[in-house]
Amino acid sequence: MSDSPYVFNVGKQDFDQVVIQASHERPVLVDFWASWCAPCQALMPLLGRLAEDYRGAFHLAKVNTEENQDLATEYGIRSIPAVKLFKNGEIVDEFAGALPETEIRAFLDKHIERESEHIAARAIDALRQGDTHDALQQVNRAVEMDPSNPKVVAARARILIANGDAEAAKQAIAKLPANEQDNPDIKALLTQLELSEASDTLPDADVLLHQIDNDPDNSELRYQLAQRLAAEGRTEEALQQLLTLMRKDRRFGDNAAQKMMLKLFDLLGDDPLVNRYRGRMASLLY
């Protein structure tokens, strides 16, 4: 045993209970190590700290291969450190060597759902139902539990934007480590903030539509309309206006229409609109 409720020293006699059986309840990360292995000594405290950071979302089982050569042989350990992730009694993923923390977090996040993410998801559901007060309360709780999780921070920023507090959303994102700024959820929110700020001084969409009816070849007006529509969440309408602008004046504003479409694709993620409009955009480029 160790001082942590999430970290265990494991041998042949309790491997089945602590790893195989326990992995039906939560993922178990098994670290095969040895005292003479310098990379093992560097990796082990990092894994222990991550087990604490994830607050029991996974358990860490440490196997000393010098004392448990039969386990090392059974699991095909040829070099160490070797790390294997068990779920439902089976190995679902693994890595070798002392990886940096960012890579290990990415490895874990593929397989582990944190309680904070469940709470953040409930907060987003509350937002969709129009209960912004409950949404903000729930997501604040999630952030308190897991302040460095970009998914949780992204959920809070999204709710803050919906509440009209774009500045607080930007401050929340700015507190994330630099390496998390490229997270797709965060990039999408930054795009949303950028569109919102760019449209703050623009006329309403109905006013812009009326102006375009009277001046259909005015590229600046059409681009402003796309900005306004995107900021209001009318994304497909914005994409339609941007395609029209590309047909009429492709090089307007140093290819501004194409650039905004790409940003909207990032914002939409895996929405079916992306493939549909990406194909239409490509047909205008080639």
Domain coverage including residue 30: 7-109
Within a domain: 188? no
Distance CA 43, CA 212 (A): 61
Query: What would the mean pLDDT of 263-277 be, rounded to a whole number?
Result: 88
- Active-site residue (options: 7, 29, 37, 260): 37
- Is residue 189 included in any domain, yes or no? no
Does residue 21 belong to any structural domain of this protein?
yes
The model's confidence at residue 223, banded by pLDDT at 50, 70 and 90, is very high
Q: How far apart are CA 89 and CA 20, in angstroms?
A: 5
Together in a domain, 23 and 104: yes
Catalytic residue, candidates 7, 10, 29, 40: 40
For this structure, is 67 an active site residue?
A: no
In CATH, what number is assigned to the domain containing residue 95? Answer: 3.40.30.10
Residue 87, both tokens: 């779920």
Residues 99 and 122 in one domain: no
Residues 152 and 227 grouped into a single domain = no
> Both 94 and 121 in a single domain?
no
To the nearest whole number, what is the mean pLDDT of the chain?
A: 90
**For residue 1, pLDDT beyond 60:** no
Dump pLDDT digits (tens) for 154-201.
Answer: 889 888 887 878 888 888 888 777 777 777 777 888 888 888 888 888
> Residues 31, 96: one domain?
yes
Last residue of a domain, one of 109, 130, 160: 109
Q: What is the mean pLDDT of residues 206-218?
A: 95
CATH number at residue 149: 1.25.40.10
Quick one: 221 and 244 in the same domain? yes
Strand stretches in the chain, DSSP E: 7-9, 28-33, 59-64, 82-87, 90-96
Residue 40 designated active-site: yes
> How many domains, in total, are found in the chain?
3
Distance CA 125, CA 159 (A): 11
β-bridge pairing 82-87 and 28-33: antiparallel
Examine residue 187 and state whether it is found in any structural domain, yes or no.
no
Tell me the C-alpha distance between 229 and 213, whole Å. Answer: 16
Pairwise CA distance, residues 40 & 60, whole Å = 14
Same domain, 65 and 153: no
Q: Which pLDDT score, from 0 to 100, does residue 31 have? A: 97
List, for residues 82-92, the tens digit of each pLDDT value.
999 999 999 99
pLDDT in tens, 13-69: 999 999 999 999 999 999 999 999 999 999 999 999 999 988 888 999 999 999 999
82 and 52, same structural domain? yes
Q: What are phi and psi of 7, to 5 degrees?
A: -125, 135
By percentage, how much of the chain surpasses pLDDT 70?
99
140 and 220 housed in the same domain = no
| Residue 1 lies inside a defined structural domain of this protein | no
Q: How far apart are CA 165 and CA 158, in angstroms?
A: 10
In this prediction the pTM is 0.53
Query: Would residue 192 count as lying in a domain?
Result: no
Confidence (pLDDT) at 115:
83
CA 244-248-252 angle, 5° bins: 100
Distance, CA of 121 to CA of 144 (rounded, Å): 15
In a domain, 191, yes or no: no
Q: Where among 109, 142, 164 does a domain terminate?
A: 109
Answer yes or no: do 212 and 243 share one domain.
yes
Torsion of CA 51, 52, 53, 59, to 10 degrees: 30
Torsion of Cα atoms, 113 then 117 then 119 then 125, to 10°: -110
